[in-house]
Amino acid sequence: MSLRTDHDETRARIADVAEELFRRLGYAKTTVADIASELGMSPANVYRFFPSKSAIVQNICCRFLDEVRERCDAIAGRPEPASVRIEAMVLDILGYHRRIVLREQRIHDVVLVGIRENWDAIMAHKEDIRAIMARILADGAANGEFPGLDADDAATALMNAGNRFCHPVMIADGLDDDLDTEARRMLRYMFAGFRAGVGAFSPPSTSPHPQNA
């Protein structure tokens, strides 16, 4: 157990130092040798804990994604209507990534590298967020806010519709737009559909000919 703890602590320290160097120098200009020098160890020792610079980047990216998930989980636990919590989630994710783009461009670059190189982790993160949304929507279905709603199906639709407000690349591309207003507008229409029972019914028949009355 002690060896495991020491290993994890060293990995965390390497990631901390790497993140700080990425902030100062940028991802492209930072080498494993720079990270090792800052830590007072050899590059070979860094490679004992991370097989590559890319692996360090992926670790840092996952830290940011874990923070987003924890923030969303906290919002999900609030004693508020489902629609209020979902809106708070979407706007919080939007605000979080926008702050990184505007204030921490070099860290934003690191997140983008992590997204490109660790797709499995990104997909797992998206599923975590979708599951949190489904949990909130299930509350709304149970208390009559969204009567008859299929929470899992609705959460998937909501994730797809809200990609512009939750994906770091799309947020960066839309910095000149009023994304908060756009997000609220999108959610307003989604919630109206949920309240009207969209998602509570089976898909329409694909039969090419209507049934005779």
pLDDT in tens, 122-132: 888 889 999 99
Whole-prediction pTM value? 0.81
DSSP state of 50: -
182 and 124 co-located in one domain: yes
pLDDT of 4 over the 50 cut: yes
Q: How confident is the prediction for the chain on average, in pLDDT?
A: 87
- Shared domain check, 182 and 80: yes
Residue 201's pLDDT is: 45
pLDDT of residue 81: 97
What is the domain extent for residue 89? 53-195
Residue 150 pLDDT > 60: yes
Q: Match 């990216």 to its residue by tokens.
A: 61
Residue 187 lies in a domain: yes
Cα–Cα distances in angstroms (integers) from residue 15 to residues 99, 122, 139, 159, in the given order: 21, 19, 38, 30
The pLDDT confidence band at residue 198, using thresholds 50, 70 and 90, is: low
Q: Length of the chain in residues, anyone?
A: 213
On whether both 31 and 62 belong to a single domain, the answer is no
pLDDT at 1: 53
Where does the chain show beta strands of DSSP type E? Answer: none
Number of domains into which the chain is organized: 2
Shared domain for 44 and 113, answered yes or no, is no
Query: 181 and 124 share a domain?
Result: yes
- Tell me the helix, strand and coil percentages in the chain, rounded to 5: 75, 0, 25
pLDDT tens for 38-61 read: 999 999 999 999 999 989 988 888
